[in-house]
Amino acid sequence: MPKFLTIGYGDQAGYDSTAPAVRDEAHAHDARLQAAGVEMGVAGPPVRVRNHDAAGVTVEPGSFMAAALPVAGFAIIEAETLDEAIDLAAKAPCAVAQGVVEVWPLQQA
């Protein structure tokens, strides 16, 4: 079955401005996905790793990409189609709590 990486973006202000019942249902949705085996987690602080020309590793704190909202979490979901993956992502806390969820199809390397 195809796999998709989801990246949730959101902040506390957007979360707090969303009705508690909507947030609760979104968290229940995530709990159902986790019970079905979906790997997901809250994002911790990132680091950037470089090893140009395999000449030595450098590590710097912080993200490489900039976004209007901070990264809140990630998941790897399985879905038959992109539309199905979008439907699953649309019910996530970041999607309903004034944030956004990106859905990235994972292709075989």
Q: What is the DSSP string of 72-94?
A: EEEEEEE-SSHHHHHHHHTTSHH
Per-residue pLDDT of 15-45, as tens digits, reads 999 999 999 999 999 999 999 999 999 999 9
Cα atoms in the 13 Å half-sphere on the side-chain side of 5: 7
pTM: 0.90
Percent of residues, the chain, with pLDDT higher than 90: 97
Using alpha carbons, select from 98, 85, 107 the residue that is nearest to residue 6: 85
